[in-house]
């Protein structure tokens, strides 16, 4: 069981991820923009952060950079959500300090398989 923070302005996406991960036995916290995500991260530790890139206020890449500044998130896996069309997000995400990416749309199975790369 892991504590996971999901940051996405799309309610559908947030709920889909949240539902899948809770169902797999993880504890999920939701935030609907980058600023709120950063606040949540300051409040406590997480084993994994999943964030969208295009969000109002603070975008996902800035969130990744800010998270990496926090001592508790220095080595925490952070995944960015991207689309096939936005290939450059993969490398930009890595540069910002992200651990990897998940390409939208994805099935619950793919999500869980992907998380094996970062969770026990």
Interface ranges with other proteins (CB under 8 A): 68, 74-78, 91, 94, 97-101, 116-120
Name the nearest CA neighbour of 49 among 17, 10, 15, 19. Answer: 17
Are 98 and 78 in contact by the 8 Å Cβ rule? The answer is yes
For residue 39, CA distances in Å to 31, 46, 82, 113 come to: 9, 12, 23, 28
CB closer to other proteins out of 58 and 96: 96
CB closer to other proteins out of 57 and 104: 104
CB closer to other proteins out of 12 and 88: 88
Cis preceding-peptide flag for 56 (omega within 30 of 0): no
Distance (Å, whole) CA 39 – CA 94 = 22
CB of 99 to other proteins, least distance (A): 4
CB of 80 to other proteins, least distance (A): 10
**Which tokens hold the place of 101?**
């990416």
CB of 10 to other proteins, least distance (A): 23
CB of 93 to other proteins, least distance (A): 9
CB closer to other proteins out of 13 and 119: 119
Helix (H), strand (E) at residue 66: helix 60-69
């Amino acid at each position: 069981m892991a504590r996971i923070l999901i940051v996405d302005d799309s309610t559908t996406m947030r709920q889909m991820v949240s539902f899948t991960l809770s169902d797999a036995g993880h504890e999920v916290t939701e935030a609907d923009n980058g600023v709120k995500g950063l606040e949540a991260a300051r409040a406590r530790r997480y084993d994994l952060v999943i964030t969208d890139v295009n969000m109002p206020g603070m975008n996902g890449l800035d969130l990744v950079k800010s998270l990496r500044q926090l001592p508790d998130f220095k080595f925490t896996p952070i995944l960015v959500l991207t689309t096939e069309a936005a290939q450059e997000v993969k490398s930009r995400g890595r540069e910002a300090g992200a651990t990897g990416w998940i390409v939208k749309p994805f099935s619950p199975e793919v999500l869980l398989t992907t998380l094996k790369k970062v969770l026990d």
